[in-house]
Amino acid sequence: GAGVSQSPSNKVTEKGKDVELRCDPISGHTALYWYRQSLGQGLEFLIYFQGNSAPDKSGLPSDRFSAERTGGSVSTLTIQRTQQEDSAVYLCASSSRTEYEAFFGQGTRLTVV
Amino acid sequence: ELKVEQNPLFLSMQEGKNYTIYCNYSTTSDRLYWYRQDPGKSLESLFVLLSNGAVKQEGRLMASLDTKARLSTLHITAAVHDLSATYFCAGRVGQFYFGTGTSLTVIP
C-alpha cells in the first residue's frame, strides 16, 4: 500500500482480555516503531525494530506488552490481560534507511472497559 | 537518552500574527523533525532538518536548526485558522524522541 496501515482502527475490550494490534509498514521500510498516545498527551515510545537487529524494547511499560515483526514486514503488538490504563491510541510508524522521516499510520484507538 | 523540550505548550494567537515555537534537545541527534497532528488524526511530517543552519519553508511555516545551540524553531508567519493543530518536534537516536507538543489555536 501507499502508507502505513494499522488495524483495527478501533478496539473496545474488556479488562483482563488480550488484544493484538497490527501494523503494515510501507513496503521496503526497514525500521518500524510503536508509540502510544493517551488523550491530550504526547507520544510514548514502546518498541523499535530495525532490520534484522534485536529490537529496542526499552519503552514497553510491562511484561504484559510484547511485539514481533515477521519477515521484516508486518508487526503485531500484543497486550495481555489488558488494564484500563492501557486505553490509548497506539501509533505505528515506519522509515527507510534512505528516507529520513518516519511515516505514521492512522493508529488504533484501544478502549479497555 | 535524547531529551526534547518544546515551548510553549499552548499557544493561542490571532490570525495574521507571527509567532515562534522553540525546540531544545539535549544531545546530538542526526536530524531534527517537525510533525503536525490535527485533532483525532495521526502525525504528518512537516520538515526534516539535516544539518546546522538548515532552513526549510512551506507556506506560512519556516523551520530552522542550530546544532551548536541544540535548538530548532518553527516560525509561523501571518497565522491562519487552518494552522490550528498540535506541532511536535523530534530528534532521532535509533528511535524518535518527541517533544511534548505545542497546541496551537489560531483565533479569527
Which pLDDT band, with edges at 50, 70 and 90, does B21 fall under? very high
B85 or A41, which is more confident: B85
**A residues 12-41 lying closer than 8 A (beta carbon) to B:** 33, 35
E-strand ranges in A1-107 read: 5-7, 10-13, 19-24, 31-37, 44-50, 65-69, 75-79, 88-95, 103-104
Q: Which residues of B are less than 8 Å from A88 in CB distance? A: none
pLDDT of amino acid A99: 60
Q: Which residues of A are less than 8 Å from B97 in CB distance? A: 45
Cis bond leading into A8, ω under 30°?
yes
Residues B51-87: tens digit of each pLDDT: 888 899 999 999 999 989 999 999 999 999 999 999 9
Task: Inform me whether the C-beta atom of residue A101 falls under 8 Å from chain B C-beta atoms.
Answer: yes
Residues A52-106: tens digit of each pLDDT: 899 999 999 999 999 999 887 999 999 999 999 999 999 999 998 766 799 999 9
The C-alpha cell of A26 is what? 510501507
B26: number of Cβ within 10 Å: 13
Contact across the interface for A91 and B88, Cβ inside 8 Å: no
Contact across the interface for A50 and B45, Cβ inside 8 Å: no
Q: How many CB pairs under 8 A join A and B?
A: 43
- Name A49's Cβ contacts closer than 8 Å, sequence gap at least 6: A31, A32, A33, A55, A67, A69, A75
The C-alpha cell of B10 is what? 499552548
Classify residue B102 as left (phi > 0), alpha (psi -120 to 50) or beta. Answer: beta
